[in-house]
Amino acid sequence: MENTELKSVLETLLFITDRPLPIGQLCKVLGESDAGRIGSMIDELKSDYASRSASVQILEIAEGFQMATRPEHAAFVRKLYADKMTLKLSSAALETLSIIAYKQPLTRAEIEQIRGVEVIAALETLLEKRLVRVVGRKETVGRPLLYGTTPEFLRHFGLKSLSEMPPIESFRPSPAQDPPPAAEPAEASLASQNPEGA
């Protein structure tokens, strides 16, 4: 690949990636064996960006390269994401989430069996907030989707791993205690999560 083309593809990759890309991986994707060449192309890109005072920069972080915003505009980025940071969950969503956390992977029908009500609205909220994801399909009739929790789930609840969750048996209700009635899934949180408030 010729230099201009290589630089252009590099720019594309550094833009689109959601994690730092090591030189080795860039070589593989670009089909280029000369890591030194990739390195100097990145340097060129860096100085191109700097010389036109672009508001985006190419950073070398621990494991690799990635585009990032410059600190000058941090206030605006924070403002953009301000609404997103607050995460309020309805009790229906929380109950659904705890069922998934303890019983994963499981299907929607299995969650509904436990909760005794439809959970599609709660599930949609959890998917939207990336607390839950599809982890595969169950090999039964219809191959229903299987759900599990995400790394975001752990981060949000301050857990290092799933094993940090208390054993489910510790929540066994005392005989007298009735479980609270299943609450309506509240739609409120959807709008606030969406920055444009669509």
- Residues in contact with its own copies by the rule CB under 8 A: 8-9, 11-13, 15-17, 19, 21-22, 24-25, 29-30, 53-56, 63-64, 67, 69-70, 73, 76-77, 79-80, 108, 118, 120-121, 123-125, 127-128, 130, 133-134, 136-137, 142, 144-145, 151, 187, 190, 195-198
Q: 22 touches which of its own copies, other proteins, none (CB within 5 to 8 A by kind)?
A: its own copies
Closest distance between other proteins and the C-beta of residue 132, in Å? 9
Measure the CA–CA gap between 52 and 29, rounded to whole angstroms.
Answer: 28
Contact 17, 63 (CB under 8 A): no
Measured from the CB atom, the residue of 173 and 181 that comes closer to its own copies is 181
Shortest CB 170 distance to its own copies, Å: 27
Of 134, 162, 192, 195, the one binding other proteins by CB under 8 A = 134
Q: Which does 106 bind (CB under 5 to 8 A by kind): other proteins, its own copies, none?
A: none
Residue 175 contact among other proteins, its own copies, none, beta carbon within 5 to 8 Å by kind = other proteins
Q: Which of 84, 75, 90 is nearest to 152 (CA)?
A: 84
| Partner whose binding site includes residue 102, from other proteins, its own copies, none (CB under 5 to 8 Å by kind) | other proteins
Q: Report if residue 35 touches other proteins, rule: CB under 8 A.
A: no
Residues 65-94 that bind other proteins (CB under 8 A): 66-71, 74, 77, 79-94
Give the three-class secondary structure for 167.
coil
To which H or E segment does residue 71 belong?
Answer: none
Q: With CB cut-offs between 5 and 8 Å by kind, which of other proteins, its own copies, none does residue 183 bind?
A: other proteins
> Quick count: other Cβ atoms within 10 Å of Cβ 10?
23
| Residue 121 backbone phi and psi in degrees, to 5 | -70, -45
Here the tokens at position 117 are: 């009500």
Residue from 57, 5, 49 nearest 31 by CA = 5
**Amino acid letter for position 194:** N
- Only one residue has tokens 């090591």, namely 22
116/14 Cα distance (integer angstroms): 47
